[in-house]
Amino acid sequence: MRSGLSAVACALWFYRLRGSSMCGIVGYTGYREAEPILRDGLKRLEYRGYDSAGLATVTGSGLCLRKSVGKIADLADVLQRQPAPGTSGISHTRWATHGEATLANAHPHLGGDGEVAVVHNGVIENHAELRSQLQADGFTFRSQTDSEVIAHLIAKYLDGDPVEAVRRAVSRLRGTYGLAMISPRFPGVLVGARLGSPLVVGLGSNENYLSSDASALRGYTEDVVYLLDRQLCVLTPNSGNVLSVELAPAEPVVHRLNWDMEDASRGEYEHFMLKEICEQPEVIDRAMAGRLDEVDSTAHFGNLSLDPQKLNQIDRVIMTACGTSYHAALIGEYLIESLARLPVEVEYASEFRYRNPPLDRKSIVLAISQSGETADTLAALRESKRKGLPTLALCNVVGSSIAREADCTIYLHAGPEVGVASTKAFTAQVTVLTLLALHLGRLRNLSASAGTRILDELQQMPDLVRQTLDCHDEVKRIARKYHHVSNVLYMGRQYLFPVALEGALKLKEISYIHAEGYPAAEMKHGPIALVDEDTPSVFLVPQCPSYDKTMSNLEEVKARGGPVIAVACPEDERIAGRADDVILIPRVAEHWQPLVAVVPLQLLAYEIALLRGCDIDKPRNLAKSVTVE
């Protein structure tokens, strides 16, 4: 890479890339022993979630392959008994998709008779067809994975040029891939390729790196290149190139990363999730920084390329997202419709990409993703662009696929989020959506006095969220009371209905307790049948226009013997006599309630999971970002 990229100036300050794919890839070629670097890189990617790990190095005229089922600590035990010497290699953490978590299915996979080793993120949709063809050609398969076909394809085409072999192999793949390969026939050469699954090249002195996530390279390099779709790279210790899939030279941009070691550590906290919950006041501050315009009573976004005239022509907003980002989008729907008087539709990205809804050029599509790599959201964005709609992205990771491909991007500035269960990114998304709703409202019919009031209230939110964190001791007490239950219901109305959904999701994700969120009025339309003495219901009942209605729904649960946990305001004199347990939050205007009401729900999920002995930062079966369907 050194010769191919030396003329490109380092530019831009980048947040550390987080959560870009289910599985982790780390590759190295240089003058040092590869194994410790590969193992250290995988350790930094543990937050993603995985069930097996492995690495391969080039040693002498052969490959040294080491794998384990379980954690990286298990792989380390294997390596202690059987070291993997060599100064170039590839490694991988796998989250099972095709085939169970077994030693045979763990990566790397060998192609041919050990002529190549390959690691792969993504899904190969035509793997069954390719497997049959390769078996007919005499290749023997040792795993159930779709990835092994890539290794055999590269081995089939391997002659005098490993890059040409990779090019020919990927030309036959249908699906997504981020892959890396090494071969003992070409010592010191590391080849990568990307389509739909991220790859990052790290630049060093007499050494180069490849990873699915720049965070794996922390401490080794600050200069990285993000591969684009349909690009390949070929790395040696002293040189390299980025190429198109047709092998034409590319002119990549080198980005300088500013590693924040404080973000990389838990500090005084037992888990990253708790640290990130407690960081939310600062996250709101960062999301607002430089965006509040008190003169015009509005919010501005410096890189919003859609000018006011274009925004005034928009008559519909379509938001597409998954998981926690979807819940933030639902709150954004209330905000934009209230402040800007624009109709909003919120779509699951996984459904929107396959529907054929009527879309017109006066609509704008807003794609929301913490990582900027969520496969379904990225596909929905691309489909919207194909149909000629303007697109806007809200994401946290600079340089991510969604950020690059959207017409314009608003960054969350939440900082790296390591815990798999998203917390502070949700808060940042809601804050930015509030600013966007204010911006759109002031372009239309929202008065200056209303805009000023919103700005004043918003600037108080960091301190109010800090006050909310004081509920932690009460939450701990409630968690001890209910951590043994098997089901929990969450209820809220209006702005707090999406918060109920988010609270239920957090509990499911990290404690493995079944939980569901509902609009409170929907209880009597079916879910009330679930109420019994062993099923607590969490009611979000701060002071708001729907308070009396929500209290009526609470009474229905109490009348049927269901325990009630209420999230309410200190001034509420009625709630103590009706709820079994009460968590107090500051009284705020209705449209700010999600920012304070979500905090005790995050803490409740955390404390219950802690008491149940769950792996909070790396819950089972989950990944930080889903880059496959």
List active site positions: 23, 624
Q: Please give the backbone phi and psi of residue 48, each rounded to the nearest 5 degrees, phi first.
A: -70, -30
Q: Please give the backbone phi and psi of residue 410, each rounded to the nearest 5 degrees, phi first.
A: -110, 120
In the predicted model, what is the mean pLDDT of residues 231-242? 91
- What pLDDT does residue 168 have? 95
Number of Cβ atoms within 10 Å of the Cβ of 325: 26
User: What's the 3-state SS for 151-210?
Assistant: HHHHHHHCCCCHHHHHHHHHCCCCECEEEEEECCCCCCCEEEEEEECCCEEEECCCCEEE
Burial 458-496 (b: 16+ CB within 10 A, else e): beebbebbbebbebbebbbebbeebbebeebbbbbbbbb
Question: Does pLDDT of 66 surpass 90?
Answer: yes
Q: What is the pLDDT of residues 147-164, one digit of tens each?
A: 999 999 999 999 889 999
In the predicted model, what is the mean pLDDT of residues 33-41? 95
Q: What is the mean pLDDT of the chain?
A: 88
- What pLDDT does residue 427 have? 96
Lowest mean pLDDT among 19-33, 211-225, 307-321, 430-444: 19-33
Q: Which residue has the higher pLDDT, 401 or 153?
A: 153
Q: What is the pLDDT of residues 509-532, one digit of tens each?
A: 999 999 999 988 787 788 887 888
| Domain annotation for the chain: domains and CATH numbers | 2-259 (3.60.20.10), 267-446 (3.40.50.10490), 469-620 (3.40.50.10490)
Question: Does pLDDT of 602 surpass 50?
Answer: yes
- What pLDDT does residue 18 have? 33
Closest CA to 564 of 532, 590, 595: 532
With beta carbons less than 8 A apart as the criterion, state whether 34 and 42 touch.
no
Tokens of residue 238, six digits: 């002293």
d(C-alpha 196, C-alpha 194), whole Å: 6
What is each CA distance from 212 to 24, 45, 201, 224, 376, in whole angstroms?
Answer: 6, 9, 9, 12, 18
d(C-alpha 451, C-alpha 548), whole Å: 29
Quick one: pLDDT band at residue 624, thresholds 50, 70, 90? low
Question: Does pLDDT of 12 surpass 60?
Answer: no
d(C-alpha 258, C-alpha 418), whole Å: 17
Closest CA to 90 of 50, 54, 43, 134: 54
């998954």: which residue's tokens? 322
Percent of the chain at pLDDT > 70 equals 93
Q: What is the pLDDT of residues 254-296, one digit of tens each?
A: 887 765 545 557 778 899 999 999 999 999 998 998 899 889 9
Across 300-338, the runs of DSSP E, i.e. the strands, are 316-321
| Residue 344 host element (H or E) | strand 344-348
d(C-alpha 537, C-alpha 558), whole Å: 9
In the predicted model, what is the mean pLDDT of residues 345-368? 86
Question: Does pLDDT of 305 surpass 70?
Answer: no
- What pLDDT does residue 31 have? 95
Quick one: pLDDT band at residue 392, thresholds 50, 70, 90? very high
Q: What is the pLDDT of residues 101-123, one digit of tens each?
A: 899 999 999 999 999 999 999 88
What is each CA distance from 415 to 5, 270, 282, 333, 602, in whole angstroms?
Answer: 28, 19, 10, 25, 18
In the predicted model, what is the mean pLDDT of residues 586-607? 95
pTM of the prediction? 0.75
- What pLDDT does residue 507 have? 96
Quick one: pLDDT band at residue 7, thresholds 50, 70, 90? very low
User: What's the 3-state SS for 467-480?
Assistant: HHHHHHHHHHHHHH
Question: Does pLDDT of 5 surpass 60?
Answer: no
Percent of the chain at pLDDT > 90 equals 58
d(C-alpha 117, C-alpha 290), whole Å: 48
Length of the chain: 629
- What pLDDT does residue 123 have? 86
In the predicted model, what is the mean pLDDT of residues 381-387? 88
Q: What is the pLDDT of residues 78-96, one digit of tens each?
A: 999 999 999 999 999 987 7
Q: What is the pLDDT of residues 417-469, one digit of tens each?
A: 888 889 999 999 999 999 999 999 999 889 999 999 999 999 999 999 999 99
- What pLDDT does residue 601 have? 97
**Residues with Cβ < 8 Å from 222, sequence gap 6 or more?**
256, 257, 258, 259
């988010």: which residue's tokens? 502
With beta carbons less than 8 A apart as the criterion, state whether 147 and 107 touch.
yes
Question: Does pLDDT of 1 surpass 70?
Answer: no
d(C-alpha 22, C-alpha 371), whole Å: 11
- What pLDDT does residue 191 have? 97
d(C-alpha 196, C-alpha 104), whole Å: 25
d(C-alpha 109, C-alpha 65), whole Å: 9
Q: Return the DSSP state at 139.
A: P
